[in-house]
Amino acid sequence: MTQVRTWPGRPARFARTTVKAAKFLFTVRAALPRWVAGLLAFGLLPIPGPVDEVAVVVAAAVLWFRHRPLLRVVWRAAQLEEGAR
């Protein structure tokens, strides 16, 4: 019988890297448009209904299609900091 390898630290590492990348993204104010940051902050409000989720999806689409190099830089910086940990 073949033993299945598991990586118990991977989901936790991914979560830590995601949080660090979000912090980096919000600290680099010159690169992130103010209205996109506002949409992301609006998405964190506890508003019932799909309004806040739509705001997050719109902001994510803008970041994905217009600011992908910025997302790569922020993700790599978060991975490097996580690796140095």
Q: Into how many domains does the chain fold?
A: 2
pLDDT value of residue 8: 56
Using a pLDDT cut of 90, give the percent of the chain over it.
22
Residue 4 maps to a domain: no
| pLDDT per position as a tens digit, 22-60 | 888 888 766 888 899 899 889 889 988 899 899 999 999
The parent domain of residue 55 ranges over 33-66
Q: Which long-range contacts (CB under 8 A, 24 or more apart) does 29-34 make?
A: 31/67, 31/70, 32/67, 32/70, 33/62
- Clarify whether residues 44 and 61 are in a common domain: yes
Q: Is residue 7 part of a domain?
A: no
| Averaged pLDDT for residues 15-19 | 87
Mean of the per-residue pLDDT values for the chain? 83
pLDDT at residue 3, rounded to an integer: 56
What is the pTM for the complete model shown?
0.71
